[in-house]
Homo-oligomer: A and B are copies of this chain.
Amino acid sequence: MNPRHQLGILGGGQLGRMLGLAAAPLGLTCSFYEPSGSDCPAALLGPVMGDQEHSDEAVHAFLASADVFTYEFENIDIRLVERIAQHKPVYPGLESLRLTQNRLYEKSLFAELDIPTASWLAVNSRAELEAAMNTLGLPLVLKTTTQGYDGKGQFILRVPEDVTDAWQHLGANGPLIAEQFITFRREMSIIAVRDLQGHTATYPLTENVHLKGILSHSLTPAPEVSVAIEQTAVRYMDSLLTRLNHVGVLTLELFETDNGLLANEMAPRVHNSGHWSIEGALCSQFENHIRAVLGLPLGSTRCPRPTAMINLIGQPPERADILGLSGAHLHLYGKSPRPGRKLGHITLSADSHVELKQRMLDIAPYLPNPMALSA
């Protein structure tokens, strides 16, 4: 049987959906593997397969459904990806996936490439946590090494007595990592894409503002970025892409501190902080990821006008409220409302950062969730 689709995507969430929407105009279609069932955001764009057990039947059906494979999320069972990679190309490759699935591997890679980070120590026992507290000082951030995202699997120790609580919360979650608490001016991310021939293209630095551990909104290009900072971020990204022999989109989260940029973590995939690129860049992160993994030339990552992305969390807004605002673009993922759930996002573009800030103030009253506008 000839595969009916060019791209098989592990995961059927909003990232899969937006990849599918970017594939369609190129005349490319996707199949999806989503164990949680076919009632997922990506289901609009192609067939959904998969089961919780990753049965041979489900995996073989998925393998037969497409030519090339990718994933929308790094916290997936790597054995599943290995099974697929035995038969067909998977991009980004297993090395990119392995290293980003584990904070210890990731931090070690940053160290290997001379990319500065917060000081950190591996923690495998309560005694090691106490030792880390003594070495790194307080506050201290204790994190699981795997499965963390959107602030999940983290505990901040502020006083020595927090050790008990911290250990109670996370001690049973396998190997941990303790990181020095960073006082940063702001959080940023840089998103780049690398194709099969090794060509790269990098989007401008994005400024990200979080609320309760979840991305609230982002601004691109990040305002007031010095050339030195931008060049440093691009250099870090280039060394990561090359070292991983990465194919597809890679996202690097950074802290801007008084002592320069510190790497926080990375994701081998399209990223929430790159959603602005659908309207804000000449070629979106989604289209560029598809181009890269399917061996096509990369598109321009240029951002002609300052663009903001605002997440819609928990409750959807009234469509008419948002669409009534000049230049607002609405993206809803087809998910049912639930507290803390990312249901969609809004893109705003403007001719200047000043005008963009005004538009964000204009839109704020219509948002179902508060936006962290103080930043």
When all copies of this chain in the complex are counted, the total is 2
Structural contact, B25 and A316, CB atoms closer than 8 A: no
Q: Does A296 contact B (CB under 8 A)?
A: yes
Cβ-closest chain B residue relative to A282:
B327
Query: How far is it, in angstroms, between the C-alpha of A24 and the C-alpha of B326 when the chains are bound?
Result: 20
Structural contact, A332 and B27, CB atoms closer than 8 A: yes
Query: How far is it, in angstroms, between the C-alpha of A212 and the C-alpha of B344 when the chains are bound?
Result: 45
Mark A302-345 against chain B: 1 for CB-CB distance below 8 A, else 0. Answer: 00110000000000100110011011011111100000000010
| Cross-interface CB contact of A323 among B17, B299, B316, cutoff 8 Å | B299
Known contacts: A304-B304, A304-B305, A324-B297. The answer to whether A24 contacts B25 by CB under 8 A is: no
Cβ-closest chain B residue relative to A294:
B319
Structural contact, B291 and A329, CB atoms closer than 8 A: no
Q: Does A356 contact B (CB under 8 A)?
A: no
Cβ-closest chain B residue relative to A331:
B25
Query: How far is it, in angstroms, between the C-alpha of A320 and the C-alpha of B291 when the chains are bound?
Result: 9
Structural contact, B282 and A319, CB atoms closer than 8 A: no
| Cross-interface CB contact of A44 among B45, B299, B305, B327, cutoff 8 Å | B45
Among A252-270, those with CB < 8 Å from B are none
| Chain B residues, CB < 8 A from A349 | 282
Most buried by B among A44, A278, A332: A44
Query: How far is it, in angstroms, between the C-alpha of A334 and the C-alpha of B320 when the chains are bound?
Result: 32
Structural contact, A323 and B304, CB atoms closer than 8 A: no
| Chain B residues, CB < 8 A from A316 | 27
> Can you list 19 A-B contacts with CB-CB less than 8 angstroms, sorted by A residue number?
A17-B24, A21-B21, A25-B329, A25-B332, A26-B323, A26-B332, A27-B330, A27-B332, A27-B344, A29-B334, A282-B349, A283-B329, A296-B319, A296-B323, A297-B323, A297-B324, A300-B326, A304-B304, A304-B305
| Chain B residues, CB < 8 A from A291 | 323
Structural contact, A27 and B304, CB atoms closer than 8 A: no
Structural contact, B324 and A300, CB atoms closer than 8 A: no
Among A220-238, those with CB < 8 Å from B are none
Structural contact, B27 and A319, CB atoms closer than 8 A: yes
Cβ-closest chain B residue relative to A333:
B27
Cβ-closest chain B residue relative to A334:
B27
| Chain B residues, CB < 8 A from A333 | 27
Query: How far is it, in angstroms, between the C-alpha of A297 and the C-alpha of B349 when the chains are bound?
Result: 18
Query: How far is it, in angstroms, between the C-alpha of A299 and the C-alpha of B328 when the chains are bound?
Result: 8
Structural contact, A327 and B304, CB atoms closer than 8 A: no
| Chain B residues, CB < 8 A from A319 | 26-27, 296
| Chain B residues, CB < 8 A from A323 | 26, 291, 296-297, 299
Cβ-closest chain B residue relative to A330:
B26
Structural contact, B29 and A25, CB atoms closer than 8 A: no
A32 CB to closest chain B CB (Å) equals 13
| Chain B residues, CB < 8 A from A300 | 326-327
A303 CB to closest chain B CB (Å) equals 13
A313 CB to closest chain B CB (Å) equals 15
Closest CB pairs A-B (n = 6): A27-B332, A297-B324, A25-B331, A297-B323, A296-B323, A296-B320
Query: How far is it, in angstroms, between the C-alpha of A29 and the C-alpha of B21 when the chains are bound?
Result: 13
A350 CB to closest chain B CB (Å) equals 11
Query: How far is it, in angstroms, between the C-alpha of A175 and the C-alpha of B289 when the chains are bound?
Result: 54
Cβ-closest chain B residue relative to A297:
B324
Mark A36-57 against chain B: 1 for CB-CB distance below 8 A, else 0. Answer: 0000000011100000000000
Cβ-closest chain B residue relative to A324:
B297
